[in-house]
Amino acid sequence: MKSRAAVIYKANEPLVVEELDIDEPKFGEVRVKMAYAGLCHSDLHVMDGDVPVGMMPMAMGHEGSGVVESVGPGVSRIKPGDHVVLTFIPSCGKCRWCVSGMTQLCDLGAGILMGPQVDGTYRLHNGEGQDVGQMCMISTFSEYTVVNQDSVCVIDKSYELDVACLVGCGVATGFGAAVHRARVTPGSSVLVIGVGGIGMNVVQGAKASGASIIIAADTNDKKLEWAKEFGATHTINPNKEDLVAKAIELTNGVGVDFAFEAIATPPTIGQAFAAAGKGGTIVVIGLTPATAETIPISPLMLVLLQKSILGTLYGSSNPQVEIPKLLGLHKHGQIKLNELITHVYKLDEVNEGYDDLLAGKNLRGVIKF
């Protein structure tokens, strides 16, 4: 069958929306008719060449929801008609990391930027018969996609698929960074540097954890206003005042208990470190360019002030557990999801959507199929 998809052929060039041939699901695989896909900055890192991939062309997109159309042999827990959220890291359930409860570190994750499916072969092909890779093995910027069952989370059909797509990456990553990785405590102080699609959900996670001071920092005043609606108690625009000095002032001179970096630059990681107080925890979420090898922190202060620097992937959460949990929190009014969607695009408008992302117009743009 055929499927229209947004494909990258070369870094720093626009995505090409074209018709591809899509194979039938093989053993352990399912075919999903996509409903919605989120425009996440991680795809942009690949498009800009900051994060290298194993091959091009590649059908992009790693955040999305849809309905299962068909299943291959060996699939038992998923059936046609199921509503699903795709996970950008598969979880095999068998490797050391999965059996230890850290499914976000599944060994299969090593292949998510390489292009082929789990078995090393391809499901998408262009008009010239050329294999087309799949971003994170799921390529959500495609009308139909064939994925391994390990990349699929079945959800209750009562959940709306537009907001459900967001919990496949952005919400789970940001919320989990606060709740699972940092383990923000009640009454603590929090700084979030960068309040886009990821950082805004760190704010939500910090609020849900009972933080008393939640400082949102961004150069975009519109996002700072949005942050207040999601739970921020204070805001800082680093273009107008010193970020570190203001964060320390807002915490009565001691620095924040938890600092999150969601922009992905060494300088902002350095700011997060400097703004954290004694015994503070710094969580790095953003994907810095692969060429960045150092961060500007003082090893002496790391020791003398007993700070902790942590990385987090997928919010250090188990997607099969976290995705339904987040949708349940939304259903009961405990987190905001609808409010994250600031613009809906057609597949043919995918490049316009990324232009809007770079211009700071969106928290999350989504593609509706």
Confidence band (pLDDT; 50, 70, 90) for 279?
Answer: very high
| 226 belongs to a structural domain | yes
| 305 belongs to a structural domain | yes
Contact between 120 and 105 under an 8 Å Cβ cutoff? The reply is: no
| 325 belongs to a structural domain | no
| 95 belongs to a structural domain | yes
d(CA 128, CA 30): 25
Two tokens, residue 50: 């900051």
Whether 178 and 140 map to the same domain: the answer is no
Whether 148 and 280 map to the same domain: the answer is no
CATH code (residue 196): 3.40.50.720
> pLDDT at position 286, please?
87
CATH code (residue 357): 3.90.180.10
Tens of pLDDT, residue by residue over 306-319, are: 999 999 999 999 99
| 99 belongs to a structural domain | yes
Whether 158 and 179 map to the same domain: the answer is no
Whether 140 and 229 map to the same domain: the answer is no
Total domains present in the chain: 2
> pLDDT at position 225, please?
97
Contact between 184 and 211 under an 8 Å Cβ cutoff? The reply is: yes
Whether 233 and 103 map to the same domain: the answer is no
What is the number of alpha carbons within 13 Å of residue 314 lying toward its C-beta?
Answer: 24
Pairing of strands 16-22, 29-38: unpaired
Whether 162 and 291 map to the same domain: the answer is no
Q: Which pTM value belongs to this model? A: 0.95
Whether 222 and 345 map to the same domain: the answer is no
> pLDDT at position 166, please?
97
Whether 135 and 202 map to the same domain: the answer is no
Select from 120, 116, 91 the least CA-distant residue to 105: 91
Q: List, by residue number, the catalytic residues.
A: 40, 42, 45, 62, 169
Residue 146 has pLDDT above 90, yes or no: yes
Q: Domain containing 150: what range?
A: 2-167+337-368
Contact between 367 and 346 under an 8 Å Cβ cutoff? The reply is: yes
Confidence band (pLDDT; 50, 70, 90) for 158?
Answer: very high
Whether 161 and 205 map to the same domain: the answer is no
| 321 belongs to a structural domain | no
Whether 11 and 160 map to the same domain: the answer is yes
Two tokens, residue 84: 């699903």
What average pLDDT does the segment 111-117 reach? 96
| 330 belongs to a structural domain | no
Confidence band (pLDDT; 50, 70, 90) for 245?
Answer: very high
| 272 belongs to a structural domain | yes
Whether 139 and 198 map to the same domain: the answer is no
Whether 161 and 204 map to the same domain: the answer is no
